[in-house]
A = this chain, B = another copy of it.
Amino acid sequence: MATVFYPDNTTFLVAVDCIIFGFKNKELHILLTRRPVEPLKGEWSLMGGFMEENESLNQAAEKVLYRYTQQKGIYMEQVNAYGEVDRDAGGRVVSVAFYALVRLEEFDTSLARKFDARWVKVQDLPSLIFDHEKMVEDALTLLRFKVSMQPIIFNFFDKKFTLPALQDLYEAIYQMPIDKRNFRKKIAAMEILDKMDDKDKSSSKRGAHYYVFNEHKYQKFTKEGKRYSL
């Protein structure tokens, strides 16, 4: 690429790879695809794409997310840039990884066939191409940290959710059991959720109350200098 001020420097392909997390069957899943192009065509890969001329990194990631999920406004965060010389067997590519949290309830299953994509449990991932396994590992580390510090976990749900489901998700992210009473006590103490009147009866006869995250209460919460912590 010719640029006016930096004419003599090498240019590189820049890609984005997305670690797309979803929650299903009490397990954390990642959306993977069979790589559609050579080299390593057919191997398991993250969802990715090249950055284009008039796109920012974030826009490139949003483009990839939209292409493979057809959802807009997905929560997304940069993980890291990966720049080893031979990280991509197809050429010199610098890749920036993003993780994203999607609502699996509203996921269009026809997309799966179109892109040869599958939701795979994080604890039994297949081998991935290039350095994608490292990307997933880094994304998980970051996700765990962020979830404990900021109310991003609610992006896994379509507005309302039950406390048992929230706890299941939390346990799936951290891969450890947590105490029901302590969990609920902590959440109750923060006062950032609204309890609904209706219940989800799909997993018990008694039914579990729905809750919704209340952004306004959360703002008040932070203004009082209190710290979110799960």
Question: Hey, which bits of chain A sit against chain B, CB under 8 A?
Answer: 1, 3-6, 9-14, 37-39, 50-58, 60, 78, 80-85, 90-94, 96
Which of B54, B85, B93, B94 touches A6 (beta carbons < 8 Å)? B93
How far is the CB of A63 from the nearest CB of chain B, in Å? 13
Residue in chain B with minimal CB distance to A89? B5
Lowest 8 CB-CB distances: which A-B pairs, in order?
A3-B91, A57-B83, A5-B90, A11-B11, A81-B81, A9-B50, A10-B53, A81-B96
Q: Which residue of B lies closest to A37 (CB)?
A: B5
Contacts of A37 in B (CB 8 A): 5
**Contact partners of A38 in chain B: CB under 8 A:** 5
A85 to B96, CA, bound (A): 15
Interface of A is mostly: loop
B residues less than 8 Å from A60 (CB atoms): 83
Chain B residues with CB under 8 A of A57: 81-84, 94
> In the complex, what distance in Å separates the CA atom of A92 from the CA atom of B5?
10
A3 touches B90 (CB 8 A): yes
Between A and B, 29 residue pairs with Cβ closer than 8 Å are A1-B10, A1-B12, A1-B91, A1-B92, A3-B13, A3-B90, A3-B92, A5-B38, A5-B39, A5-B91, A6-B13, A9-B13, A9-B50, A10-B13, A10-B51, A11-B11, A11-B14, A12-B12, A14-B14, A51-B83, A51-B94, A54-B85, A55-B85, A56-B83, A57-B83, A57-B94, A78-B81, A81-B81, A81-B96
Residues of B contacting A13 in the complex (Cβ-Cβ under 8 angstroms)? 1, 3, 6, 9-12
Contact residues in B for A85 (Cβ distance below 8 Å) = 54-56
> In the complex, are the beta carbons of A91 and B4 less than 8 A apart?
yes
Determine if A52 and B10 form an interchain contact, defined as CB atoms under 8 angstroms apart: yes
Contact A51 B81 (CB under 8 A): no
Q: Given contacts A3-B92, A81-B57, is CB(A12)–CB(B11) below 8 Å?
A: yes
What's the Cα separation between A37 and B7 when bound, in Å? 12
Residues of B within 8 A of A50 (CB): 6, 9-10
CB distance from A195 to the nearest CB of B (A): 34
| Cβ–Cβ < 8 Å partners of A1 in chain B | 10-13, 91-92
